[in-house]
Structure 1
Amino acid sequence: MKDRVSPLLIVVVVAVLALVPLAVEDYGLGLAIGAMGYIALASSWALFSGPTRYISLATVAFFGFGSYTVAVLGDYLPFLLILAIAALIGLFASFVVGFATLRLAGIYFVVFSFGLAEMVRQLLTWYEVNVTGTLGRYIFVDVDGFDIYYMLLAVAVAALAIRWWIDRGRLGLAVRAIGDDEAVARHAGVDVTRVKLALFAMSSVLITLVGAIQAPRWTYVEPSIVFNPTISFLTVIMALLGGASRLWGPVFGAAPLFFLFEWLSGRFPDHYSIILGLLFIGIVFLFPEGVLARIEEFLNRVRAQRTRAAKEVPNERLA
């Protein structure tokens, strides 16, 4: 029964979200695209980081790869072909980065992934200034807001579907073993490096596609825009708030936080980064396993109390 509920829930949620662009104006569509973009990012990020418990801050590197692929090829190729090329670039980059970083763990992996994203941004900035002679590129791609929204929705659905499929197979068992104790998983016969690399590659390809799909929204891009580290931090915060280890956690974390961050950035533009850092600390301390985990704990306690109460009633009657 549980195996049937998640696919059915995915279908229902997708059907509801597919109607959103039809019920809003241009400003609402822009907000819907932004929210859906972070839902897709958080779900894709959690595909690897959720079960393995590796906190990756390299999200913006792959996001930027996708955006710059569109910026470079937008005048020469159809958009769908550019998306395919961006996915291949993301796949290649994920293997290169994976082989270099996935042997690290804990804080070392976090620091290295953040440094990697910054290195990519600086290298691309140097290349644009010293080789092309300019900083930034214009994007002229014939894609409207409806197309962008539905493509982002497709990426989010793909991330959820892959996560659901993995959780119910042998790969899911291997990943959970790695998340619990990597050394024990290795001794139990799990090919830790191959499993982590496979998940990291799938996650990175989807993140690259999100960056490529959203690129036409900006019209003009430069490294400071598409390689902004805030994208990585927001993605992590959203996924952790909902619960990166849960299938629906990133969705429930990304949607409300996106609108909260939009409001905060508009009301407190000079203090936005400070508020973002405080929220990150608060989420880590108050909801280490995510909001959904807390809700599950509460519901389990309620069920346990009802079960005890139901058992006490017959005993009282017998007495």
Structure 2
Amino acid sequence: MSILKPDFIKPVAIGAVIFAALAFLPSFADSYYMSLAISVVSFAVLATAWSMFSGPTRYISLATVVFFGIGAYTVAVLGEIMAFPLVLVCAGLAGTVVALLVGFSTLRLAGVYFVIFTFGLTELVRQVVSWYEVNVTREMGRYVFLDITQNDIYWQLLALFAVLLLTGFVLGRSRLGFALRIIGEDETVAKHCGIDVTRVKVALFVLSALFMTLTGAIIAPRWTYIDPVIAFNPMLSFQVVIMALLGGPRRLLGPLLGVIPLTLLFEVLTASFPNHFSILLGCVFMVIVYLLPGGVVGLYEKYRAPKKRTLSSSPETTRKSEEKTA
């Protein structure tokens, strides 16, 4: 596939202009709005990375916080003894290794079994880290003191999101992306087509986990203190799934349509109803599942399809088509 085709250059150019404009946000936003912008961009990366795997394969993963927490804890452990770029590399390697182990051992599961395993994996990793802290380091939690400003975190997350979107754009037009779409429709058909289903799913799972891990690593300096409960909070996985489902996980920019409104909604709910956040989050999830099963993008495509069929079957369109054929 040539990356010099017009259908590749135009979206990339538009995206570059948009991201260049967003890079100037710290110039006129105060600390509160910068904090909100960081939350939006971090959730945008996590939800898009989740959709990169779960969208085409239709596997509902609740392991997002596992990789996010690995990235955050890597920074907490190595942040004061290594340069930050090298810490990011170490975090990415740690997340990749864990994703490979999890992928090859679990991606043969399907349906509810995969969901249950990924949810249990979060608790397993949290308990292992807690045991290590208590029995080996003899202290629970770590302080993070790095000379990284809020603006630096925002710019790093924005750059990571840009790389993620470019990766997803290229992936959607590659053979791997085509193979994933076949797997999502019917794994049996994919196997008969000669596709190595397990390797393809693991490759995409690892790629998705890498972006989640780097997000956790970049966010870590924002917190002064990190412990297993904070880093591996399972609520994060549910938030990411709900955001992706609201926007539409089967389109590259679909999750962004869920991230922006829900981040603002969760900000209000956390401030106004801190003791009832879990219940309200469950209500939001049920509303999305029952009323918007295909997300905002799916709803748009559902109402757009009849209009396109009507236009294509109109007498004027038919006459023009016949004239071209003649």
**Bin for the TM-score computed over the shorter chain:** over 0.9
Q: Aligned to 1:205, what secondary structure does the other structure show?
A: helix
Contact kept in structure 1, 2:312 and 2:318, CA below 8 Å: no
Q: Which runs of 5+ in 2 are unaligned?
A: 1-5, 320-326
CA distance in 2, matches of 1:281, 1:5: 38
Residue 149 of structure 1 aligns with an amino acid whose one-letter code is: Y
Indicate how the Cα distance of structure 1 residues 12 and 297 shifts in structure 2: closer, same or farther if over 3 A, else same.
farther
Correspondence 1:131-150 to 2 at 5 A = 131-150=136-155
1:19 CA drift (Å): 2.6
Alignment-derived partner of residue 269 in structure 1: 274
For normalisation by structure 2, the TM-score amounts to 0.92
Correspondence 1:1-319 to 2 at 5 A = 2-306=7-311, 311=316
Residue 18 of structure 1 aligns with an amino acid whose one-letter code is: A
RMSD across aligned C-alpha pairs, in angstroms? Answer: 1.9
1:146 CA drift (Å): 1.1
1:127-167 per-position Cα deviation (integer Å, ceiling 9, x unaligned): 11122111100001111111111111122112211111111
1:76-112 per-position Cα deviation (integer Å, ceiling 9, x unaligned): 0111110011001111111111111111111000000
CA distance in 2, matches of 1:118, 1:253: 26
| 56-65 or 262-271, which deviates more | 262-271
Indicate how the Cα distance of structure 1 residues 312 and 202 shifts in structure 2: closer, same or farther if over 3 A, else same.
closer
CA distance in 2, matches of 1:90, 1:247: 23
CA distance in 2, matches of 1:12, 1:48: 27
1:305 CA drift (Å): 4.1
1:191-236 per-position Cα deviation (integer Å, ceiling 9, x unaligned): 0011001101111111000000000001100010010001101111
CA distance in 2, matches of 1:207, 1:293: 25
1:306 CA drift (Å): 4.7
For normalisation by structure 1, the TM-score amounts to 0.94
Number of matched residues?
Answer: 315
1:16 CA drift (Å): 3.3
CA distance in 1, matches of 2:237, 2:184: 21
Residue 221 of structure 2 aligns with an amino acid whose one-letter code is: P
Indicate how the Cα distance of structure 1 residues 304 and 187 shifts in structure 2: closer, same or farther if over 3 A, else same.
closer
1:52 CA drift (Å): 0.7
1:123 CA drift (Å): 1.2
Indicate how the Cα distance of structure 1 residues 312 and 128 shifts in structure 2: closer, same or farther if over 3 A, else same.
closer
1:24 CA drift (Å): 0.6
Q: Aligned to 1:104, what secondary structure does the other structure show?
A: coil
Residue 132 of structure 2 aligns with an amino acid whose one-letter code is: Y
CA distance in 2, matches of 1:37, 1:143: 16
Residue 276 of structure 1 aligns with an amino acid whose one-letter code is: L
Contact kept in structure 2, 1:91 and 1:204, CA below 8 Å: yes
CA distance in 2, matches of 1:284, 1:180: 20
| 9-18 or 197-206, which deviates more | 9-18
Residue 150 of structure 2 aligns with an amino acid whose one-letter code is: G
Identity of aligned residues (%): 50
1:261-295 per-position Cα deviation (integer Å, ceiling 9, x unaligned): 11111111121101101111221222222101211
Indicate how the Cα distance of structure 1 residues 252 and 16 shifts in structure 2: closer, same or farther if over 3 A, else same.
farther
Contact kept in structure 2, 1:44 and 1:156, CA below 8 Å: no
Residue 168 of structure 1 aligns with an amino acid whose one-letter code is: R
CA distance in 1, matches of 2:283, 2:14: 33
CA distance in 2, matches of 1:74, 1:173: 40
CA distance in 1, matches of 2:202, 2:313: 46
Q: Which runs of 5+ in 1 are unaligned?
A: 315-319
Alignment-derived partner of residue 317 in structure 1: none
Contact kept in structure 2, 1:21 and 1:32, CA below 8 Å: no
CA distance in 2, matches of 1:273, 1:279: 10
Indicate how the Cα distance of structure 1 residues 40 and 313 shifts in structure 2: closer, same or farther if over 3 A, else same.
closer
Contact kept in structure 2, 1:37 and 1:210, CA below 8 Å: yes
Q: Aligned to 1:94, what secondary structure does the other structure show?
A: helix
